């Protein structure tokens, strides 16, 4: 089956995020006065073949551990995993 | 002596490093990222640049290059490995050095002179310096802010593994206002055994008075002198 996984990689809460601070300041300047904090991360979309959902989740988790995130500074979560019709 | 200079797609400081090695009177050996053979070099330099475009994270993909398998094994045997700028990022991604290098606090790419205080004079890279010597060596990076857990930072300091710290020109503390905002103003660190050095500034760009500083040459000469004296350097711990 073909799966699409949406992975979100974000800086750990204790790591300073100058991009997030800059975006927050921009939003405040635009008048979004309710904004208190912004964190900038990465969205990685992976299309892949796997036997079933459990297998796909396990493989994507391994990808995150080995390459997609740096465990020193980043966390990850698999945001969504859905099946798609195989492309023609 | 023979200095290996790693070349990944996107490496940009390889020829500058080779030039500095030649200026020091030694032989540069270019090492292609797809090769495993280190060709008998005495020290491997991982130079600056944007290996594999630095996509995903700086150094994240270079870490898996065939050459890096050999470099990791070489380092484990006590071989000298010197990561400069992107090379430092690669060494952290490869877990040969602790911590990580993140976007500069200023969000700017900073290319400018920097002043480094030598914090460790026991390492094979810095034993030619006196304690607290100030070296003028330029930085040129957008992602050089050194970060690590407090426990790791304390351990690095307690064990003398901070090699260089950013200071002002007069040697006074920058107090967090370094070119990249590194934690504790750290510019370069050593591994536990002292045979692996990572540093963000570019010593190869400070090897001729014409370029404004020849302080970087002292590091190249120091490595060469040690290897010349002992043959292939064998590490015995830095303390």
Kindly list the structural domains of chain B, giving each domain's residue range(s) and its CATH number in brackets, ordered by start.
2-230 (3.40.50.880)
Residues of chain A found within 8 Å of residue B148, distances taken between Cβ atoms: 72
* B222: annotated active-site residue: no
> In the A/B pair of chains, how many CB contacts fall below 8 A?
34
Render pLDDT for B68-93 as a digit per residue (tens, 0 to 9): 999 999 999 999 999 999 999 999 99
Residues of chain B found within 8 Å of residue A68, distances taken between Cβ atoms: 56
Query: Which residue has better confidence, B236 or B138?
Result: B138
Please state, in angstroms and rounded to a whole number, the distance separating the CA atoms of residues B193 and B77.
Answer: 10
pTM over 0.90: yes
- pLDDT of residue B111 exceeding 60, the answer is yes
Cβ of A72 within 8 Å of Cβ of B107? The answer is: no
* Residue whose structure tokens are 């070489």: B74
Question: What is the overall mean pLDDT for chain B?
Answer: 94
Render pLDDT for B199-238 as a digit per residue (tens, 0 to 9): 999 999 999 999 999 999 999 999 888 877 765 554 443 3
Chain B CB within 8 Å of residue A73 CB: yes
How many other C-beta atoms lie within 10 A of the C-beta of residue A63? 18
Q: Given B57, B103, B148, which is nearest A18 (Cβ)? A: B103
**What is the reported pLDDT for B76?**
96
Q: Given A18, A19, A70, which is nearest B93 (Cβ)? A: A70
Looking at chain B, the whole-number percentage of residues with pLDDT higher than 90 is 92
What is the second-level CATH architecture of the domain A2-84? 2-Layer Sandwich (3.30)
Phi-psi region of B25 (alpha: psi -120 to 50; beta: other; left: phi over 0): left
* B157: annotated active-site residue: no
Asked whether the beta carbons of B4 and B36 are under 8 A apart, the reply is no
* B202: annotated active-site residue: yes
Residues of chain B found within 8 Å of residue A18, distances taken between Cβ atoms: 103-107, 181
Sign of CA dihedral B153, B98, B28, B43: positive
**What is the reported pLDDT for B232?**
55
Among A12, A69, A70, A14, smallest CA distance to A78 is for: A69
Render pLDDT for B38-79 as a digit per residue (tens, 0 to 9): 999 999 999 999 999 999 999 999 999 999 999 999 999 999
Chain B CB within 8 Å of residue A72 CB: yes
């Amino acid at each position: 089956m073909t799966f699409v996984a949406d992975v979100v990689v974000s800086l750990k809460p204790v790591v300073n995020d100058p991009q997030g601070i800059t975006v927050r300041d921009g939003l405040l300047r635009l008048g979004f006065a309710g904004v208190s904090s912004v964190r900038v991360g990465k969205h990685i979309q992976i299309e892949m073949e796997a036997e079933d959902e459990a297998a796909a989740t396990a493989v994507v988790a391994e990808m995150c551990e080995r390459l997609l995130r740096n465990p020193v500074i980043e966390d990850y979560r698999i945001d969504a995993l859905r099946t798609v019709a195989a492309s023609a | 002596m023979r200095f290996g200079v790693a070349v990944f797609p996107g490496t940009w400081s390889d020829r500058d490093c080779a030039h500095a090695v030649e200026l020091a009177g030694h032989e540069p050996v270019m090492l292609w990222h797809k090769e495993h053979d280190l060709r008998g070099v005495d020290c491997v330099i991982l130079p600056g640049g944007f290996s594999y475009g630095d996509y995903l994270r700086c150094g994240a993909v270079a870490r898996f290059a065939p050459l890096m398998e050999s470099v990791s094994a070489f380092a484990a045997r006590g071989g000298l490995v010197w990561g400069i700028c992107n090379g430092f990022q690669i060494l952290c991604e490869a877990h040969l050095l602790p911590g990580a290098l993140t976007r500069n606090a200023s969000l700017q790419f900073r290319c400018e002179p920097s002043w480094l205080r030598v914090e460790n004079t026991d390492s094979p890279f810095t034993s030619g310096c006196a304690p607290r010597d100030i070296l003028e060596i330029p930085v040129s990076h957008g992602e050089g802010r050194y970060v690590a857990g407090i426990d790791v930072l304390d351990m690095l300091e307690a064990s003398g593994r901070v090699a260089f710290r950013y200071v002002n020109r007069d040697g006074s503390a920058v107090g967090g206002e370094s070119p990249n905002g590194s934690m504790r103003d750290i510019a370069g660190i050593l591994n536990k055994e002292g045979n692996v050095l990572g540093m963000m500034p570019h010593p190869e760009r400070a090897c001729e008075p014409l370029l404004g500083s020849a302080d970087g040459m002292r590091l190249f000469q120091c490595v060469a002198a040690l290897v010349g004296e002992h043959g292939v350097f064998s590490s015995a711990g830095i303390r």
